[in-house]
Amino acid sequence: MKSHILTTLAMVVAGSCGAITPIGAQEPMKNESTFHQIFPQGEKLPEQFSRYFIGQAYLAPLTQNKALNMPVSNVTFEPGCRNNWHSHTGGQLLVCTAGRGYYQEKGQPARELLPGDVVEIAPDVVHWHGAAPDSWFSHLAIECNPQTNKNTWLEPVDDEQYRAATAKPTPTVRLSEAAARNRNAWFPGTVAIDRQTDPELTEIFDNFAFDEVQQYGDLDRKTRILVTMASTIAQHTVQEYEKMLHAAWANGVTPVEIKEVLYQAVPYVGIAKVSDLIEVANDFLIANDVSLPLDGQSTTSPETRYAKGLALQKSIFGEQIGKMADNMPDNQKHIARYLSANCFGDYQTRNGLDTKMRELLTFSMLISLGGCESQVKGHIQGNVHVGNDKNTLLAVVTQLLPYNGYPRTLNAIACLNEVLPE
């Protein structure tokens, strides 16, 4: 009688999945558990019941006295495992003890199950139960009216049904009309990944970055994207840089411009921060059918790089550049020459971006790095000389506020006010 009840119970409650046993795990014994729970995990269900479930489940009978006529077993499901649709003529109770699972009645939405939950299954109700896709799950199965209780097995819960039942609903994120419009313009047809896991943060950030912040200043969308891209490079935030690549591509930024923003960053933030972002950009461009390498944009040669770089420096910062180099100690004059030949001759003289945009990008990188206030002040003057006034620079500082935070933003404004008093 006891063996008949336990065999029936195994058929009624068991479910399983095709999850791989963790490396180093041994075949679970009767009183051992693959994941933490208070009851034994038990043995794998017999193979002859495999037609009633998808995946691997384990059964541990907990009651021994058949005179009580109340069989109770602990049933453990590996991630993704579930049993077929089925029903019991006498009903069933499930007491959830560990992990996370689901229960669903025919025609009803699935119910998420957590430790401490109790499921009362009425007689003849068609249902299924099992583990979540990403979690083990255990419950006690209590067979009601065991003298007359019979189960009826139906069709499996296929992958499509299971995905639909266990999919978490997308939380509501309330964006202003402007924030929704601007965000969609930057990233057309996409939904923020953080919307599912962090809906409140997504709502706060998007309403601020894509509505309030973009109300300030007269920067066009392409410029906002380029300076934000420069900021993500300076901070070496790979995921945010990838987002900016998509925004740039959707808003007409050319492959050459994408590459030139990266090249412009090398003398200011260093190749250590730029190198792997070049690889990210290359992968992105190749995926969008751009042939690499792109056409060259260099305008100098080894023989002309110093002269052309120095001339560009003077056009941006004035004749004091030469005086500063002359007044440097002899053991530091090589740095002044590097600035002229390498920073300006090799990079700033390149085609693909004009001088006005390059200075704006440099300003964006420096205020994003932090700790570069002396250089920020110098490039504020340089920006003014090439046509980027204080209002433009304030608009850039404001655009980058959500990405830089308040301390670096306030430092940048302090530099602006010192160099360009109100």
Closest by CA to 11, choosing from 127, 151, 129, 205, is 151
What the chain holds in terms of domains, given with CATH numbers, is 2-166 (2.60.120.10), 177-419 (1.20.1290.10)
Closest by CA to 88, choosing from 27, 11, 167, is 11
User: What does the pLDDT read at residue 392?
Assistant: 98
Tokens of 410: 């306030």
- Cα distance between residue 81 and residue 162, in whole Å: 10
Tokens of 131: 């583990």
Q: Percent of the chain, pLDDT > 90?
A: 78
**Single pTM value for the model:** 0.67
3-state SS, residue 59: strand
Q: For residue range 231-243, what is the model confidence (pLDDT) as tens digits?
A: 999 999 999 999 9
Question: How far lies 368's CA from each of 54, 161, 233, in Å?
Answer: 52, 48, 9
Q: Could you count the other beta carbons within 10 Å of the beta carbon of residue 268?
A: 22
pLDDT of residue 24 exceeding 50: no
3-state SS, residue 53: strand
Question: How far lies 294's CA from each of 259, 285, 297, 327, in Å?
Answer: 9, 10, 9, 41
Please compute the mean of the pLDDT values over residues 263-289 and round it to a whole number: 97
Higher pLDDT, 7 or 136: 136
Query: 1: pLDDT confidence band, cut at 50, 70 and 90?
Result: very low
Q: Percent of the chain, pLDDT > 70?
A: 91
User: What does the pLDDT read at residue 190?
Assistant: 80
Query: 195: pLDDT confidence band, cut at 50, 70 and 90?
Result: confident
Query: 15: pLDDT confidence band, cut at 50, 70 and 90?
Result: very low
Q: Could you count the other beta carbons within 10 Å of the beta carbon of residue 377?
A: 17
Please compute the mean of the pLDDT values over residues 335-346 and round it to a whole number: 96
User: What does the pLDDT read at residue 194?
Assistant: 77
Please compute the mean of the pLDDT values over residues 93-108 and round it to a whole number: 96
- Cα distance between residue 370 and residue 387, in whole Å: 24
Answer for the pair 273, 234: CB distance below 8 angstroms, yes or no. Answer: yes
- Cα distance between residue 257 and residue 247, in whole Å: 13
Q: For residue range 29-44, what is the model confidence (pLDDT) as tens digits?
A: 334 446 789 999 999 9
Average pLDDT, the chain: 90
Residue 65: phi, psi to the nearest 5?
-80, 105
Tokens of 218: 């007269």
Run of H or E including 131: strand 127-131
**What angle, 0 to 180 degrees and rounded to 10, lies between the N-to-C axes of helices 221-235 and 177-186?**
70
Query: 49: pLDDT confidence band, cut at 50, 70 and 90?
Result: confident
User: What does the pLDDT read at residue 64?
Assistant: 86
Q: For residue range 52-75, what is the model confidence (pLDDT) as tens digits?
A: 999 999 999 998 888 888 889 999
- Cα distance between residue 151 and residue 330, in whole Å: 93
Answer left, alpha or beta for residue 80, where phi above 0 means left and psi between -120 and 50 means alpha.
Answer: left
Closest by CA to 16, choosing from 41, 39, 50, 42, is 50
User: What does the pLDDT read at residue 14?
Assistant: 38
Query: 7: pLDDT confidence band, cut at 50, 70 and 90?
Result: very low
User: What does the pLDDT read at residue 34?
Assistant: 60
**What angle, 0 to 180 degrees and rounded to 10, lies between the N-to-C axes of helices 271-287 and 221-235?**
130
Q: Say how far residue 152 (Cα) sits from the centre of its chain.
A: 44
- Cα distance between residue 186 and residue 250, in whole Å: 7
Run of H or E including 206: helix 199-207
pLDDT of residue 279 exceeding 60: yes
- Lowest-pLDDT range, 97-111, 187-201, 398-412? 187-201
User: What does the pLDDT read at residue 28?
Assistant: 37
Number of H helices, E strands in the chain: 16, 13
Q: For residue range 124-181, what is the model confidence (pLDDT) as tens digits?
A: 999 999 999 999 999 999 988 888 889 899 999 999 999 999 998 778 889 999 999 9
Please compute the mean of the pLDDT values over residues 341-349 and round it to a whole number: 97
